[in-house]
Amino acid sequence: MSETEFDSDPDLEADAQAAVPLVGIIMGSQSDWATLSHAATQLETLGIGFESRIVSAHRTPDRLVEYATGAAGRGLQVIIAGAGGAAHLPGMCSAWTLLPVLGVPVESHALNGVDSLLSIVQMPAGVPVGTLAIGRAGAVNAALLAAAILALSDEALKARLEAWRALQTAAVPEEPAADSAVP
């Protein structure tokens, strides 16, 4: 079963709550959207309301402070922050809010995202960032982790998350298809 089939499953469609942003997706640049859009797609699949903004720690520092300090008051419960290179956005965001911040290292051109990963993961003790994998996998898992956090206090979302996991499990064949073998 493909991701598209997951997306079209009626049991996983957004409910009325999806219009209310509970997750904030922020990224350092427009160029990060190719990665962070995978988090957005996953949240949509699970019917979780979100918003997405470009917030650069170094190019728009005032926007970062305004966003992070206002996030909880506006009803956000989790922030997914993606950045590449000297990726200080997730850590600086976490410095300005008590909300859980999930960091997604964007795959950079120069160092394939290893720079982003080390920048985000190596937070000194005291200001946490939950760091995910580099690139698409990290973006998707950030959304799934956000869903798991929100599901602690949302039984309907918990049921949707369980249904999504069950579909994923059911989509794994027991034997490899012959035509997928590497020549």
Binding residues for ligand RP5 (CB under 6 A): 28-29, 31-32, 56, 83-85, 106
Q: Which of 161, 164, 163 is nearest to 146 (CA)?
A: 161
48 or 83, CB closer to ligand RP5? Answer: 83
- Shortest distance, position 162 Cβ to ligand RP5, whole Å: 34
28 or 49, CB closer to ligand RP5? Answer: 28
- Shortest distance, position 31 Cβ to ligand RP5, whole Å: 3
- Shortest distance, position 56 Cβ to ligand RP5, whole Å: 6
12 or 27, CB closer to ligand RP5? Answer: 27
The upper half-sphere exposure of residue 102, i.e. CA atoms within 13 Å in the direction of its Cβ, equals 24
- Token readout for 128 is 């946490």
- Shortest distance, position 78 Cβ to ligand RP5, whole Å: 19
Is the alpha carbon torsion for 25, 26, 29, 35 positive or negative?
Answer: negative
Please report, as a single letter, which amino acid is at residue 53.
R
- Do the strands 78-83 and 50-54 form a parallel or antiparallel pair, or are they unpaired? unpaired
88 or 160, CB closer to ligand RP5? Answer: 88
49 or 138, CB closer to ligand RP5? Answer: 138
- Shortest distance, position 39 Cβ to ligand RP5, whole Å: 14
* 33 sits in which H/E element: helix 33-45
Please report, as a single letter, which amino acid is at residue 138.
G
Burial class (CB in 10 A: 0-12, 13-18, 19+), 144: buried
